[in-house]
Structure 1
Amino acid sequence: MNWITLSTTDQLDTIYANDETVVLFKHSTRCPVSSMAKRSLEFEKELVPAGAKFYYLDLIANRSLSNKIAELWNVQHESPQILVTRGNVCLYHASHQDIEMSELIKFL
């Protein structure tokens, strides 16, 4: 899986403004549950359609971006958390042990 690092407001604004479906994974580098969720996603990477964009946000380093995601897509902040978005619409979101590749790929 090719993670795209999400680290700037400009990136987030571009994602929000475009009509492209993307995945946003908010990961806490200090949380074992978050690490398990990330490993689980990577373990099932063969399910990902070609060309799908997966963004990775280190929310310890970029908490303000995590807050902006919650605000833009009107989804309560959680960690770990995954969102599938298309422009300004959140198609799907899950957190903690509910993060499953088999569920989120239905929206890609």
Structure 2
Amino acid sequence: MKKIDSVEEFTDILKTKQKFLLIKHSTTCPISKAAFNEYEAFVSENKGIPTFYLFVQDARPLSNYIAETFNIRHESPQALLFDQGIVTWNVSHWKITRKSLNEATS
């Protein structure tokens, strides 16, 4: 579980990690807080899966870059699973649960 803030950090991850999970989190939204709690619970049970997160307020250029580059509408909170450089799964808001994250990464 690592916080990222820049496009450069993200592109490095794309180059070095075949499969990883990314969470977009808004620090001012209660729905996002609940989703982030689910994400933290997932991470605590799944140490072998590379996971990253960004705070939308701190990393707006990165959040926009991901939305534009992968043609996925920006939402917050939002979970995206990347596999071999493409988004293979994404959900937002109340659909971000420990169970959905487990199912997506299994």
Q: TM-score range by the shorter chain?
A: 0.7 to 0.9
State whether structure 2 residue 16 is matched by structure 1 residue 15.
no
Instruction: Tell me the TM-score normalized by structure 1.
Output: 0.85
State whether structure 2 residue 39 is matched by structure 1 residue 41.
yes
Residue number in structure 2 paired with 1:102: 99
- Partner of residue 87 from structure 2, selected from 83, 86, 90: 90
1:44 & 1:13 partners in 2: Cα distance? Answer: 24
Whether contact under 8 Å (1:26, 1:79) holds in the other structure is: yes
Instruction: Tell me the TM-score normalized by structure 2.
Output: 0.86
1:8 & 1:61 partners in 2: Cα distance? Answer: 9
2:44 & 2:58 partners in 1: Cα distance? Answer: 29
Cα deviation for residue 10 of structure 1 reads 1.3
User: Would you say how many aligned residue pairs link Structure 1 and Structure 2?
Assistant: 105
Cα deviation for residue 11 of structure 1 reads 1.4
1:3-62 per-residue CA deviation (whole Å, 9 max, x = no partner) reads 2011122111123334510011000001111001111222344542x4211101011011
What stretches of structure 1 of length at least 5 have no aligned partner?
Answer: none
Paired-residue identity, %? 30
Whether contact under 8 Å (1:47, 1:101) holds in the other structure is: no
The alignment partner of 1:43 has SS state of helix
**Structure 1 residues 45 and 4, CA gap change in structure 2 (3 angstroms):** closer
